[in-house]
């Protein structure tokens, strides 16, 4: 792939056409590739470039590259002419694309079935099973998931992938009406996912543990076993809260409460509602907290009703009603409190307690409910929290094994999910990756470096796997390019490779990754940044982490930075001070004001300088 030129797209296009007409195909290829690098061009100007570039590629025998351009243009007719000239992996992906484009038509099932057969022939079992599911051939899908699950279980190296395969096996068994086999697969899947989540948390990859817990929720929903749902929700909320993603956390609380209500798991639901109310209160979301407390009271009442209806011990209903009274009293709903005390007096309890509750009820005879603002999370604060089917997506990633051409090809073939610019960038990165693959390991270092640069421009989560794979290169120039590209990827998973690069044997790579650390200053990066600050032996890495944390406007970040001023050396204190002077957030200033009186004189001096530089009064 040629490097970008400053010449306009139309000039490069015309020059490329002229070179092609003169038979100078390498020059035509270079010029047209430079034109294709103008990824912000209008589609009407861009597509003619791809048409001419395709013609040159076919004349040069670069059929996989030509097919990639057809994928971008969604030109099924053109794609069909190339299927006999490309490897099975491209043929299968094209057939899958035809099925996806014909989702509501009559040929989709046939195309998925054909794709599955080709995928299976190339030992891409997860891809084959997914295609079988999509054409509703669950018998074949079950066979494939079973085969993959056994292979992964025997290897024992990837509990997460093995758990996903078992879950998919359970899903297909359910579709085929085999509940016994589905249950067996669920038990195995839950065990493997719990082991995977524990391991991810131990090594600081909580975003991967988060995926495990989301799958547990899905398993609970499918199997009807609420304990799996509850385990998933509790841990999902914990991670979201620790990452300061409060609206996502509150939405997850609400989802969990809705599921608890649907499954009539009112005791667990009441406990979750109590936690949600406390959290919303701490986040100053009073109406949401009141709503959660109202739900808590209602669920405790349902627990009491259920105990009475099944003839259980009166004490069980009593305890549930008392819990509801506490919730109502917290909201000032005193009419409801009196009503519940009356109900308590009617339970089959010892007479002294019944008399006590009757007296309590009389105290609330003339009390009124306090008017409160109680409502769920407002729509304008809700986030698009749709969770992808990682039981498919992550197995596809696992099976692609860091292939840049495969990951980029998937992006090119998803016009409904990504913008034209993003798909063009992925297309160009795929063309570069195909050139490298065609060289059969003899590629020049500059070509692989260029691939890392092009991957960096895509900026999507799915590109992290190819970048992680590239970082394993023995060439420091390649690892350096990856370290630079990673600063564009605002995901916690990015820190897996960043932490490795902080200990890279090449000093140039280590120096560059300090800049990457400083650039990764998004809110939920606090935890991995704090780990770098606390655990890194390299002072430069710790300083970079401090500078990034100073741009994160949360209480956790503010508390850590106050600790830097109190307990760290001059280098770290100076880094924190200079970064905070340039920051725009206000949380640190609020926390510093609150704590100022109790801080040592030397820290007060630093903070006064900081307030003065920000134009704030202490």
Residues 1-20 pLDDT 10s: 767 778 999 999 999 999 99
Residue-wise pLDDT tens digits, 289-327? 999 999 999 999 999 999 999 988 899 999 999 999 999
Can you give 389-441 as a three-state secondary structure string?
Answer: CHHHHHHHHHHHCCCHHHHHHHHHCCCCCCCHHHHHHHHHHHHHHHHHHHCCC
User: Nearest-5° angle of CA 210, CA 212, CA 218?
Assistant: 105
Q: Can you tell me the distance from the alpha carbon of 208 to that of 335, in angstroms, rounded to the nearest whole number?
A: 48
| Encoded tokens for 589 | 């200033």
| Encoded tokens for 23 | 């038979």
pLDDT of residue 440: 67
What CATH number has the domain bearing residue 15?
1.25.40.10
Q: Are both 303 and 207 inside the same structural domain?
A: no
Res 245 pLDDT > 90: no
Residue appearing with tokens 């609970």: 220
Query: Do the Cβ atoms of 36 and 49 come closer than 8 Å?
Result: yes
Q: Are both 235 and 266 inside the same structural domain?
A: no
pLDDT of residue 163: 96
pLDDT of residue 383: 65
Query: Averaged over 161-186, what is the pLDDT?
Result: 96
Provide the sign of the torsion angle of the four alpha carbons 421, 427, 433, 439, taken in this order. Answer: negative
Provide the sign of the torsion angle of the four alpha carbons 84, 88, 89, 94, taken in this order. Answer: positive
User: Nearest-5° angle of CA 558, CA 563, CA 566?
Assistant: 130
Q: Are both 87 and 191 inside the same structural domain?
A: no
Q: Which range among 28-37, 199-208, 272-281 shows the weakest confidence by mean pLDDT?
A: 199-208
Check residues 37 and 248 and name the one with the higher pLDDT: 37
Distance of CA 247 to the CA centre of its chain: 15
Q: Are both 285 and 314 inside the same structural domain?
A: yes
Specify the DSSP class assigned to residue 333. Answer: B
What CATH number has the domain bearing residue 194?
1.25.40
Q: Are both 216 and 255 inside the same structural domain?
A: no
Query: Averaged over 72-76, what is the pLDDT?
Result: 96
Query: Do the Cβ atoms of 562 and 595 come closer than 8 Å?
Result: yes
pLDDT band at 402 (very low <50, low <70, confident <90, very high): very high
pLDDT of residue 125: 98
Provide the sign of the torsion angle of the four alpha carbons 15, 43, 461, 148, taken in this order. Answer: negative
pLDDT of residue 388: 74
Q: How many CB atoms lie within 10 A of CB 175?
A: 15
Res 80 pLDDT > 90: yes
Q: Last residue of a domain, which of 353, 384, 415?
A: 384
pLDDT of residue 60: 96
pLDDT of residue 617: 76
Query: Do the Cβ atoms of 513 and 501 come closer than 8 Å?
Result: yes
In terms of residue numbers, what domain contains 316?
A: 244-384
Query: How many C-alpha atoms does 570 have within 13 Å on its Cβ side?
Result: 0
Q: Pick from 294, 357, 363, 364: which is nearest to 334 by CA?
A: 364
Q: Which range among 138-142, 205-209, 336-340 shows the weakest confidence by mean pLDDT?
A: 205-209
Average pLDDT of the chain? 93
pLDDT of residue 182: 95
pLDDT of residue 385: 55
Within 8 A by CB and 6+ apart from 85, the residues are 63
- DSSP lists the bridge partners of residue 369 as 333
Query: Averaged over 160-184, what is the pLDDT?
Result: 96
Q: Can you tell me the distance from the alpha carbon of 199 to that of 21, in angstroms, rounded to the nearest whole number?
A: 59
Res 328 pLDDT > 60: yes
Query: Do the Cβ atoms of 216 and 236 come closer than 8 Å?
Result: no
Dump strand ranges (E) for 199-357.
Answer: none
Residue 463 lies in a domain: no
Q: Pick from 349, 298, 347, 346: which is nearest to 324 by CA?
A: 298
Res 26 pLDDT > 80: yes
What is the total count of domains within the chain?
A: 3
Residue appearing with tokens 């975003």: 207
Q: Last residue of a domain, which of 354, 384, 414?
A: 384
Residue 321 lies in a domain: yes
| Encoded tokens for 387 | 């969770």
Q: Can you tell me the distance from the alpha carbon of 524 to that of 533, in angstroms, rounded to the nearest whole number?
A: 15
pLDDT band at 243 (very low <50, low <70, confident <90, very high): confident
pLDDT of residue 441: 58
Q: How many CB atoms lie within 10 A of CB 384?
A: 6
Q: Can you tell me the distance from the alpha carbon of 512 to that of 213, in angstroms, rounded to the nearest whole number?
A: 34
Residue-wise pLDDT tens digits, 497-520? 999 999 999 999 999 999 999 999
Cβ-based burial of 105 (10 A; exposed 0-12, middle 13-18, buried ≥19): exposed
Residue 336 lies in a domain: yes
What's the chain's length in residues?
Answer: 618
- One DSSP character per residue, 506-547 reads SHHHHHHHHHHHHH---GGGHHHHHHHHHH-S-HHHHHHHHH
Q: Are both 367 and 262 inside the same structural domain?
A: yes
Q: Can you tell me the distance from the alpha carbon of 577 to that of 588, in angstroms, rounded to the nearest whole number?
A: 11
Query: Averaged over 118-131, what is the pLDDT?
Result: 97
Q: Are both 295 and 363 inside the same structural domain?
A: yes
Q: Are both 214 and 304 inside the same structural domain?
A: no
Q: What is the dihedral of CA 555, 559, 565, 567, to 10 degrees?
A: -160
Q: Can you tell me the distance from the alpha carbon of 161 to that of 156, in angstroms, rounded to the nearest whole number?
A: 10
Residue 68 lies in a domain: yes
Specify the DSSP class assigned to residue 554. Answer: S
Residue appearing with tokens 């270092």: 445
Q: Are both 239 and 269 inside the same structural domain?
A: no
Residue 127 lies in a domain: no
% of the chain surpassing 70 pLDDT:
98
Q: Can you tell me the distance from the alpha carbon of 209 to that of 195, in angstroms, rounded to the nearest whole number?
A: 10
Query: How many C-alpha atoms does 144 have within 13 Å on its Cβ side?
Result: 24
Provide the sign of the torsion angle of the four alpha carbons 572, 578, 584, 588, taken in this order. Answer: positive
Buried b (16+ CB within 10 A) or exposed e, 590-607: ebbeeeeeebeeebbebb
Residue 200 lies in a domain: yes
Q: Can you tell me the distance from the alpha carbon of 72 to that of 412, in angstroms, rounded to the nearest whole number?
A: 6
Q: Pick from 460, 464, 459, 531: which is nearest to 499 by CA?
A: 531
Q: Are both 282 and 297 inside the same structural domain?
A: yes
Residue-wise pLDDT tens digits, 549-605? 999 998 889 999 999 999 999 999 999 999 999 988 888 988 888 888 888 888 888
Can you give 97-160 as a three-state secondary structure string?
Answer: HHHHHCCCCCCHHHHHHHHHHHHHHCCCHHHHHHHHHHCCCHHHHHHHHHHHHHHHHHHCCCHH
Query: Do the Cβ atoms of 527 and 206 come closer than 8 Å?
Result: yes
Query: Averaged over 356-369, what is the pLDDT?
Result: 92
pLDDT of residue 544: 96
Q: Last residue of a domain, which of 225, 243, 261?
A: 243
Q: Can you tell me the distance from the alpha carbon of 177 to that of 373, in angstroms, rounded to the nearest whole number?
A: 47
Residue 59 lies in a domain: yes
Q: Are both 300 and 379 inside the same structural domain?
A: yes
Q: Are both 262 and 363 inside the same structural domain?
A: yes
Phi, psi (rounded to 5 degrees) for 369: -75, 135
pLDDT band at 527 (very low <50, low <70, confident <90, very high): confident
Residue 338 lies in a domain: yes
Q: How many CB atoms lie within 10 A of CB 154?
A: 9
Query: Do the Cβ atoms of 588 and 580 come closer than 8 Å?
Result: yes
């Amino acid at each position: 792939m040629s490097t970008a030129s400053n010449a306009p797209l139309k000039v490069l296009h015309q020059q490329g056409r002229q070179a092609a007409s003169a038979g100078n195909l390498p020059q035509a290829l270079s010029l047209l590739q430079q034109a294709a690098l103008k990824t912000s061009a209008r589609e009407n100007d861009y597509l003619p470039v791809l048409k001419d570039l395709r013609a040159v590629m076919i004349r040069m025998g670069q059929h996989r590259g030509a097919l990639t351009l057809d994928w971008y243009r969604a030109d099924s007719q053109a794609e069909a002419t190339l299927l006999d000239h490309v490897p099975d992996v491209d043929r299968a992906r094209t057939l899958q694309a035809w099925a996806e484009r014909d989702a509501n038509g009559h040929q989709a099932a046939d195309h998925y079935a054909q794709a599955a057969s080709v995928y299976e022939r190339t030992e891409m079992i997860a891809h084959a099973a997914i295609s079988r599911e999509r054409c509703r051939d669950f018998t074949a899908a079950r066979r494939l998931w079973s085969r993959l699950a056994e292979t992964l279980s025997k290897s024992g190296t990837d509990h997460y992938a093995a758990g996903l395969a078992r879950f998919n096996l359970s899903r297909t068994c359910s579709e085929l009406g085999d509940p016994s086999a589905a249950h067996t697969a669920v038990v195995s899947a839950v065990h493997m996912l719990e082991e995977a989540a524990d391991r991810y948390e131990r090594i600081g990859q909580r975003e991967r543990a988060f995926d495990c817990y989301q799958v547990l929720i899905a398993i609970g929903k499918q199997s009807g076993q609420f304990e799996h749902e509850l385990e998933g929700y509790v841990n999902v909320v914990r991670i979201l809260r620790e990452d300061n993603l409060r609206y996502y956390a509150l939405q997850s609380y609400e989802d969990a409460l809705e599921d608890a209500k649907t499954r009539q798991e009112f005791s667990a639901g009441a406990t979750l509602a109590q936690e949600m109310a406390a959290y919303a209160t701490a986040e100053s979301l009073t109406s949401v907290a009141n709503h959660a407390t109202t739900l808590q009271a209602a669920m405790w009442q349902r627990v009491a009703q259920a105990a009475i209806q099944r003839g259980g011990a009166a004490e069980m209903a009593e305890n549930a009603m008392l819990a509801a009274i506490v919730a109502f009293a917290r909201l000032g709903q005193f009419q409801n409190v009196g009503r519940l005390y009356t109900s308590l007096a009617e339970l089959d309890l010892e007479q002294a307690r019944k008399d006590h509750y009757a007296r309590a009820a009389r105290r609330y005879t003339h009390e009124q409910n306090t008017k409160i603002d109680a409502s769920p999370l407002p729509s304008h604060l809700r986030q698009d929290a749709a969770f992808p089917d990682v039981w498919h997506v992550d197995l596809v990633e696992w099976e692609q094994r860091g292939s840049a051409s495969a990951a980029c090809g998937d992006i090119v073939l998803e016009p409904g999910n990504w913008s034209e610019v993003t798909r063009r960038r992925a297309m160009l990165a795929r063309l570069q990756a195909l050139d490298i693959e065609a060289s059969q390991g003899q590629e020049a270092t500059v070509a692989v470096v260029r691939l890392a640069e092009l991957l960096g421009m895509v900026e999507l989560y799915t590109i992290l796997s190819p970048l992680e794979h590239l970082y394993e290169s023995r060439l420091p120039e390649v690892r350096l390019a990856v370290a630079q590209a990673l600063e564009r990827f605002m995901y916690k998973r990015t820190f897996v490779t960043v932490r490795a690069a902080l200990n890279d044997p090449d000093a140039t790579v280590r120096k560059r990754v300090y800049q990457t650390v400083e650039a990764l200053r998004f809110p939920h990066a606090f935890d991995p940044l704090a780990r770098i600050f606390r655990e890194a032996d390299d002072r430069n890495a710790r300083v970079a982490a401090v500078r990034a944390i100073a741009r994160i406007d949360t209480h956790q970040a503010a508390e850590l930075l106050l600790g830097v001023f109190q307990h760290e050396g001059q280098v770290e204190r100076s880094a924190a001070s200079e970064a905070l002077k340039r920051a725009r957030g206000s949380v640190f200033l609020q926390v510093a004001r609150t704590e100022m009186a109790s801080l040592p004189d030397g820290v007060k001096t630093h903070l006064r300088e900081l307030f003065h530089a920000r134009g704030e009064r202490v």
